[in-house]
Amino acid sequence: MTIIAQHGELFVILACLFGFFMAWGVGANDVANAMGTSVGSKAITIRQAILIAIVFEFLGAWLAGGEVTSTIRKGIIDPDLLKSDPQLLVYGMLASLLASAIWLMVASRKGWPVSTTHSVVGAIVGFAVAGLGPGSVHWTAIGQIVSSWLTSPLLAGVIAYLLFRSIQRLIFENDDPFAAAKRYVPGYMFLVGFIIAMVTLLKGLSHLGLPLGFGESLLLSLGIGAVVMLIGILLERRIGRTKKSDDRFSFSGVEQIFGVLMMFTACAMAFAHGSNDVANAVGPLAAVVSVVAHQGSVGASAELPWWILILGGGGIVVGLVTYGHKVIATVGTGITELTPSRGFAATLAAATTVVLASGTGLPISTTHTLVGAVLGVGLARGMRALNLRVLGTIVISWLVTLPAGAALSIVFFFMLKGMFG
C-alpha cells in the first residue's frame, strides 16, 4: 500500500487547512494592497473597502478563478521528475502552502506589502532544490520573476507620474479647476472603463472558457469605456461646487469627482485580483487533491473542484477583514499622502501596467506594480512628498520574500518527509 493511498485523506485535510491559511494571507496582504489606494485617498472607508472586496474578490475567485489551474506554478519545476515519487509532490505542495502562509502572516503583521506570487514561487523552489536537486528548477523562469522586481514598479511609476502630471496640468493648474474637471474627467473615465475592462477580460475571464483574443478584448473594452464615460457624465452633473472657507479654487469639488472614479477602480481591481491571485492559494491545494484522487499520478495541471475556489475566496475575505488594515495603512498613507485624484492616478497606472504585461507576456507582480504607482504619484509632487524610510523597508521585504519562502519550505518539507516516511 503506497503512502498516498495510506494517508490520502489526511493529506487532503492538511492541504485544505494550509490552503485556507494561505488564502487568509493573500487577503491580509495582497487584497489590502489592492484596496490601499482607495482607502488611503479617503474615496471609500475601510468598511466599504471590505464590502467591495467581499463581493468582488469572491466573485472574481469563484467565477473566473480557473477551471484548470497549473499545479506547478509558472513552469518552475519539471513535473516528469515527480512521476516516480508522487508523495514528494504532496510533501512539497503542503510545505509550500505552509511556508508562504507563515511568511505572509509575518509581512502582514509588520504592514509590509509583499508579493504572494513570489512567496509561493520561493517556497516551490525551496522544496524542489531540497527534494529533487537544483537541476529540477527552471532557473530561467526564476530569472524572469526576479527581473519583474524592477520592471513592475518602474513601468507603473512612470505611467502614474505622467498621469498625475496630466491631471495637475489640465485641471489643478487651470484658472477654474472645477470647470476643467467637468470638461476633462469624462476622458479619464473612458480610460478607466477601457483599462479596467482590459484587465478583467485578459486576467479575470481568461479561465472562464471565454477564449477572447487580445483584439476582441480590445474592441469590447473600447465599448465598455464609452459606456462608463456616459455613466460618469450623468453622475458628474449631480456634483455641484462645494466651497470651503480654506478652499479658494473649489479643489474639494474636483476631488469629489475623482472620488466617484475611485469607486469604479476599486470594484474592478478587486474582481481582477480575486480571479488572478486566488491561484496562489488554490494551485498547490488542487495539486494535492488531484494526486490523492488519481492514486498518485502526477499531471502538469489539475481539475479544480468548485469547493476549492470557494475555500480560497472565503480565506481571502477572512484575511482582509481580520488583518488587512495594516497593509492598507502602509500603501494608503505610509508611502505618500493620497487624495482621490492621486489615488486614481496610481490605481489606473497599476491597472494599465497589468494590461501591458498581459498583452506582452512580461512577468509582473500586482503588489510591486501598485507600490511603484503610488511612488510615481509621490514623485510628481517632489522627493519631499515620499516617506523614504517606509520605502526602504518595503524594498528589503521584497528582496527577502523569495529566500524566506524557500528556507521555510525546505524545513517543512523535511519535517513532513520525516513524519510520513
Distance between CA atoms of 116 and 5, rounded to whole angstroms? 31
| Phi, psi angles (nearest 5°) of residue 115 | -85, 120
Q: HSE of 320 in the Cβ direction (CA atoms, 13 Å)?
A: 29
pLDDT for the residue numbered 256: 80
Select from 19, 24, 40 the least CA-distant residue to 346: 40
Within 10 Å of residue 51's Cβ, how many Cβ atoms? 12
Give the domain range for residue 8. 1-420
pLDDT tops 70 at residue 176: yes
Mean pLDDT of 148-173: 90
Question: How large is the average pLDDT for residues 149-163?
Answer: 90
pLDDT on residue 421: 67
Secondary structure (DSSP) of 377-393? HHHTT-GGGS-HHHHHH
Closest listed residue to residue 318, CA positions, set 100, 61, 80: 61
The number of folded domains in the chain is 1
Furthest C-alpha separation in the chain: 81
pTM for this predicted structure? 0.84
Q: Point out which residues pair with 301 in neighbouring strands.
A: 70
Say what the pLDDT of residue 210 is.
66
Length of the chain: 421
The answer for 382, left when phi > 0, alpha when psi is -120 to 50, beta otherwise, is left
User: Who's near 72: CB < 8 A, 6+ residues apart?
Assistant: 78, 79, 124, 287, 300
Assigned C-alpha cell, 290? 488531484
More confident residue, 148 or 379: 379
Set of cell numbers at residue 10: 489526511
AA letter at 110: K
Strand partners, 77: 137
Beta strand 68-70 with 301-303: parallel, antiparallel or unpaired? antiparallel
Contact yes or no for 324/27 (Cβ under 8 A): yes
pLDDT of residue 32: 78
Question: Residue 324: is its pLDDT beyond 90?
Answer: no
pLDDT at 97: 93
Residues 11-37: what's their mean pLDDT?
A: 89
Pinpoint the alpha helices (H) of 134-250. 139-167, 177-199, 214-236
Task: List the single range of 9-18, 325-334, 369-378 with lowest mean pLDDT.
Answer: 325-334
